[in-house]
Amino acid sequence: MTETRAHTETAVIAKRVDSGSPETAEIRELARAAGYEVADELTQTRTEDPAYHIGKGKAGQLSELVARAGASVVIFDNQLGPYQTYNLGNQLPDGVRILDRFRLILEIFGQRAQTRKAQLQVELAELRYELPRAEAKASLAKRDERPGFMGLGEYDESREQDIKNQIANIREELESIEETEQHRREQRRESGFDLVALAGYTNAGKSTLLRRLADDLDVDDNEDLHPDLDSTAESEDRLFTTLGTTTRKAELDRREALVTDTVGFISDLPHWLVESFKSTLDSVYRADLVLLVVDVSEPVEEIREKLVTSHDTLYERNEAPILTVLNKIDAVDDDELQRKREALSALAPNPVAVSASEGRNVDTLRARIDEALPALRRERLVLPMTDDAMSLVSWIHDHAHVEDVEYGDQIVIAFEGRPETVEQARAKASQLEATLEP
């Protein structure tokens, strides 16, 4: 697995597009997130060259650029084949590494992976990245009966099967972890918590919004129930600050919710990479409500494209309602915000517009969350005046919203809570009555 580097390396960015002007802002951010210092860039608009990806002449220019910058890494904002990587490597100064877009993303993920689940997902993605290259290496070498054909190195016929076996083992362990996490989610629901998930692209402001919504930072007082709750959630302007999930408790008007921030989506990811990190999105798929956070300061076409992709991802397995949050309204004026609301109305009907960084309209968002979550059920219980009944009253206070309690010869308590909580309270009350029967 990729390790964090001890010092910053200098990198040169390269990007090829079939048509139009190559944009490099995102790949620069990705490079910065990985800890690289970008010294220069080279771009080209042309059809892909099968041997060098960029043209051979451009490959020579790239070599000169790298030498002048003293760079040790070239980062392509494209996917490179093994043959292209080999040919480019022969053009560059000795010792210069080549990373394509997806290898760079894997490197970032490797640096961010702190939990066993995140580490397994990174390893799975790396293996899925390597598998077709191992298959190609073996196929080419067998076809030409020359190990190391085209400079791709010696091939081992068993390597392909080894990778497949490792992938199978990792998937099995991830399934086991997910079973444990699903059990934990069910415990939380039984404890009266609603589960809210934050989803959206990187740098949309999800972590900042989590900090605004979560007014109780000390949520680790019950390790058995909430072993993964964090007291911090970074909100710095870096991609992939959150690789795993961060969960915090948020107080709403009549209920308590656990809000989970998940890894951000990113554009132009191959299927194998998305698949590797699907279990990270289980917190989204199993939530009671999903907050889809978008950066409203971006161009409207870019926002629309991201919303379409997000909906495709979320609706694949998600059954919870989705509430779109237009974040960063501090970066646009009222007229621009209104134009974008109207332009996005088909994809984001009745969104909530907020500034997580300034805290604007967060109270409005809390109210909308409360409205969008599953309806609470009202209940009224009549309990005997006993110590056990007082314990049940205390339990109801902890797990539901108590509207009124009357103490006399009997205890009369009126409350509202999740259906599961109401059923539990009824069952406990029935048990109390049973113990009093002669």
Known binding residues for Mg(2+): 207, 242
Residue numbers in the known binding site are: 200-207, 242, 261-264, 327-330
Hey, which bits of 168-255 come out as E strands? 194-200, 246-251
Counting every residue, how long is the chain? Answer: 438
Distance CA 382, CA 99 (A): 68
Burial (CB count <10 Å: 0-12, 13-18, 19+), residue 159: middle
Distance CA 265, CA 279 (A): 13
In sequence order, what are the residues at sequence separation of 6 or more whose Cβ sits closer than 8 angstroms to the Cβ of residue 129?
A: 102, 103, 106, 272, 273
Hey, which bits of 54-185 come out as E strands? 73-76, 97-99
Backbone angles phi, psi at 383, to 5 degrees: -120, 150
In sequence order, what are the residues at sequence separation of 6 or more whose Cβ sits closer than 8 angstroms to the Cβ of residue 175?
A: none
DSSP string, 263-331: PPB-SS--HHHHHHTGGGGHHHHT-SEEEEEEETTS-HHHHHHHHHHHHHHHTTT--S-EEEEEE-GGG
Host H or E run for residue 353: strand 352-353
Q: One-letter amino acid identity for 350?
A: N
In sequence order, what are the residues at sequence separation of 6 or more whose Cβ sits closer than 8 angstroms to the Cβ of residue 45?
A: 16, 17, 18, 19, 20, 21, 22
Residue numbers in the known binding site for GTP are: 200-207, 261-264, 327-330
User: Radius of gyration over alpha carbons of the chain, in Å?
Assistant: 27
Secondary structure of residue 360 in the 3-state scheme: strand
Distance CA 76, CA 14 (A): 5
Distance CA 415, CA 413 (A): 7
Distance CA 26, CA 273 (A): 18
